[in-house]
Chains A and B, each alone.
Chain A
Amino acid sequence: MVYKIDPDADRVYIDEFRKKPIGAHSPGLQRLLNIMRHDPSGRQVVLVCRKPFEEWVLGMMPPDRSQPIAIEDEPVFTDIESAEWEVFRRRWRAITGQDINMPLRD
């Protein structure tokens, strides 16, 4: 059976991700990410680059390619790590029902 995310036990990995969203992770965080990055609905969160190396927003790619990608106007990210953090927060909330009580940016 696929591991079920436990908001109490797995909360320890939130800070690890916050500090380094891209790169080597602990086995526990990697397991968490492998599960969080799967959406059984077939939808896919994507990072839409509006200006190379300057501006990104989030988008939602639908399962059916004939439907358009829904692109958000806000928030606008000026670095990829902040976008990774925002997606992590949203997924955590969707899976556990709990908010991560940390600001988007320090």
Chain B
Amino acid sequence: MLKIVGYPDRYSVAPGETIAFKISQEEGDHFDARIVRVFNGDSNPEGPGLRFEHVPTAADGRHPGFVQSIDAGSYMIAAGVPLLARTAFTFSAFVWPTLPNREDQTLAGQWDPAAEAGWRIIVAGGRTGIVVGDGSGRMATAFADGVMVPRRWYQLTVSIDPASGAVAIEQTPLVAYAKTGDAGQFAGALDVLPAAIDAPFLLAGTRERDGTVGHHFDGKIDSPVLLEGRHKGTAHLRLLEPHVPLPLAAAVVARWDFSRAIDTVDAVDIGPAGHHGRFEQLPTRGMKGWNWTGEEQSWTRKPEHYGAVHFHHDDVYDAAWETSVEVRIPDDMPSGPYALHAVAGPSDEQATREAYIAFFVRPPRDRAARTNRPKVLMLAPTMSYLAYANHGEHITARGAERQMGRLLTFGHTDLYMYDHAELGGSLYDTHADGSGTNYSSRLRPNLNFAPRYHSWLGGPGSALYQYNADTHLFDWLDKKGVAYDIATDEDLHEDGYALLADYSVVITGTHPEYHSTAMWDAMKTWVDRGGRLMYVGANGWYWRIAFHKQLPGVIELRRAEDGIRTWEQEPGEYYHSFSGEYGGLWRRLGRPPNVMGGVGFIAQGFDMSAYYRRAPDADDPRAAFIFKDVPDEIIGDFGLVGGGAAGIELDCISVPLGSAPNILRLASSDGHSGMMMLVNEEFGVVLPNLGGDQNERVHADLAFYETAAGGAVFATGSIAWCGSLLHNDCDNNVSRITWNVLERFLDDTPF
């Protein structure tokens, strides 16, 4: 179990800027910290081993440590709403509950938890109810008598007269089912009267005594309204008509229209008082509403059909921890991969008491200040690290052991992840209510973005995936004496082509899977203008993501239509709420990965990696520089990730999908097991021979092509490639091929 965890306030920091680290420590009252340059995060004794180098900074030394927690769960707050319990009022909304049987979920309320005063409209045991408190310790509840069905729309209306205690509840299904009994009503009087207390109006959560927000609601809420006086549900429906009778219009206290400003965290009140709210911890927007018909699939074209917001009790955008240590990056600090090493005590079999909190020092932001830079830029795939943040399929998805072909390994990090669902999951995980996780934020601990993390998903041997697999590349670049800068996906999204323009060579990570439109356009522009791209991974340029316009550090994914999907986006919800763009695979958007890296996703399998066999194009004079001193027929039959250079996920050439017609197939992988399987976007009819032992299409291609502008692209076609670089102290044919390519790519002579 981990006893110390943390996160940085940014993944990329420029010289002269300050980076802050937020740390939670379960034992003791202090930790010792230092900044280290990360060369190798792999502790496998079969490999070269961990390698960090202390970089003296002001962060060195002892710092106070204490427990910090995460207040997960999304909600809406509208602080300007008047005290409703002074007179009779009505709350109405359309609601689509996803976990209706969870206990005591707050739909709406004005509640003082310390005094137990006010009112809360709740869902508990599948029934709509109300809780009132008078502040003297007396509370009363009332419930409708029907039990709601998950994932069905209901119109809920609750009215109360605080003077008499009279309450009416209507729970009306929008679609009636026989013998279901999900409609419900209540009409009666409570023997406790709600106090009109000074508390903000909250939707989908309520203030707790400890200052957090709890008792969250799981599900969608659409068109919530507050009315003066007691009304029936028919009044709610009349408000949605083009002409609203004056008496009803005059009764409106607030009427939120969530179809407005979908790409923000603003909750727009279209009522006369403008009691606008704000969404906290990022509930999902751009969701189908109660009135969605399917005639339109995009919220940008028919927003009135997308007036729902999906709240989850495990949503998290910002852990909002206090800063534990911060450091100004010296002006002369070389660009590269770094980490804050925080130690709270010695580790043992039961507990890990040290943490490496990774970050990157990028080149100066001001292009004019980027003088005498190296010719090589490594683009750290931080948006893929973020997409996989706290990847918990080994916890939540039964069947993962079958998929891996081996037992699921839980280290201390995984045990901590299991116990701390409030960290929030990855874009591969589902919320507790079964809906897919659309948003991932870096303002929280990202436990698998760390040196020394050995993944249940990584290939046998070192068991590395994503960031820690990329440390093999960091180590190799250093051992080969390559001077390089490093920048992140987020830098590329923000800076665009200008970030890449001055570099001759860009090297990817092992798994650069997630790209925004701005990132994709910037990279393609650079390649088309003569850049030399070394794509040393696989399953790259696969999913489109979007960044939020207001909030830093969070991305959105819509798992639409096709591709490897651990969950599927609901039909009608394929458009990003952050950008309005259609989501899903870049391939489905007319930009297959082959267009960028020459190769595209073909297969995945997680048992053992295989090797490459030299192909005829290896003897093409155009490829002679690649195979200098590499006469071998078999390439990469060794390595720390699955025992070979071709594994985990594979890409291959496909000219119909956009691979350049002049591309050379230098080598192809061979010897895969039946667990290395064709990916589902590659077949229309389910095949009986999906595995690599029976399907000739299951293979990685080592590929190279020249571009019209005198640049070139080299692609390895395998996530496991970099796991073989360090074998035999870098004296091996994978390392030699990679070096040969880099050496030629650094030569300015046009291809």
User: B493 an interface residue at 8 Å Cβ cutoff?
Assistant: no
Q: Any chain A CB within 8 A of the CB of B415? A: yes
Q: Does B570 contact A (CB under 8 A)?
A: no
Minimal beta-carbon separation of B606 from chain A (angstroms): 10
| 10 shortest interchain CB distances as A-B pairs | A24-B673, A50-B349, A47-B407, A49-B411, A23-B608, A37-B402, A47-B409, A22-B406, A37-B401, A46-B408
User: Are A24 and B693 CB-contacts (below 8 A) given A52-B43, A65-B395?
Assistant: yes
A41-52 near B? 1/0 per residue, CB < 8 Å: 010111111111
Q: Which among B43, B406, B410, B693 is the interface contact of A53 at CB below 8 angstroms? A: B43
- The reply to whether the CB of A38 lies closer than 8 angstroms to some CB of chain B is yes
Across-interface contacts of B415 in A (CB, < 8 A): 48, 69
Which residues of chain A (66-105) have a CB below 8 Å from chain B? 68-69, 80, 83-84, 87
23 A–B contact pairs at CB < 8 A?
A22-B406, A22-B607, A22-B608, A23-B608, A23-B673, A24-B673, A25-B673, A33-B405, A38-B402, A42-B398, A45-B401, A46-B407, A47-B408, A47-B410, A49-B409, A49-B411, A52-B43, A52-B411, A53-B44, A65-B396, A65-B418, A84-B406, A87-B407
Interface of A is mostly: mixed
- Evaluate contact between B674 and A30: CB separation under 8 angstroms: yes
| A37, chain B: closest CB distance, angstroms | 5
Give the residue name and chain of the B residue nearest to A39 (CB). B398
Closest to B349 in A: A50
B376-424 residues at the A interface, CB under 8 angstroms:
394-396, 398-399, 401-402, 405-412, 415, 418-419, 421
CB distance from B99 to the nearest CB of A (A): 13
- The answer for the CA separation of A30 and B421 in the assembled complex, in Å, is 33
How far is the CB of A34 from the nearest CB of chain B, in Å? Answer: 6
Would you give the shortest CB distance from B520 to chain A, in whole angstroms? 36
Across-interface contacts of B412 in A (CB, < 8 A): 49
- Bound state CA distance, A80 and B408, in angstroms? 11
Q: Is A15 an interface residue (CB 8 A)?
A: no
Q: How far is the CB of A2 from chain B (nearest CB, A)?
A: 13
Query: B608 to chain A: which residues have CB within 8 Å?
Result: 22-24
Which of B406, B418, B674 contacts A27, CB < 8 Å? B674
Tell whether A38 pairs with B421 under 8 Å between CB atoms, given A46-B407, A47-B410, A69-B415: no
Chain B residue nearest to A83 (CB atoms) is B407
Q: Does A61 contact B (CB under 8 A)?
A: yes
Q: Tell whether, in the assembled complex, residue A46 and residue B674 are in contact, meaning their CB atoms are under 8 Å apart.
A: no
- Is A53 in contact with B607, judged by CB distance below 8 angstroms? no
Best-surrounded residue of A38, A49, A59 (most CB of chain B within 10 A): A49
- A39 to B407 Cα, complex, angstroms: 13
Q: Give the interface centre of B43, B399, B411, B608 by most chain A CB atoms within 10 Å.
A: B411
Q: Which residues of A contact B395 (CB under 8 A)?
A: 61, 65
In contact, A44 and B408 (Cβ under 8 angstroms): yes
Residues in chain A near residue B410, CB distance under 8 A: 46-49, 59, 69
A33 to B607, alpha carbons, bound, how many Å?
A: 13
A94 to chain B, nearest CB (A): 15
- A52–B525 Cα distance when bound, in Å, is 43
A55 proximal to B (CB < 8 A): yes
Could you tell me if A53 and B394 are in contact, using CB atoms closer than 8 angstroms? no
Inter-chain contacts of A42 with B (CB < 8 A): 398
Known: A52-B411, A53-B43, A84-B406. A61 touches B418 (CB 8 A): yes
Most buried by B among A23, A34, A55, A59: A23
A22-B460, A22-B608, A37-B402 in contact; A45/B673 too (CB < 8 A)?
Answer: no
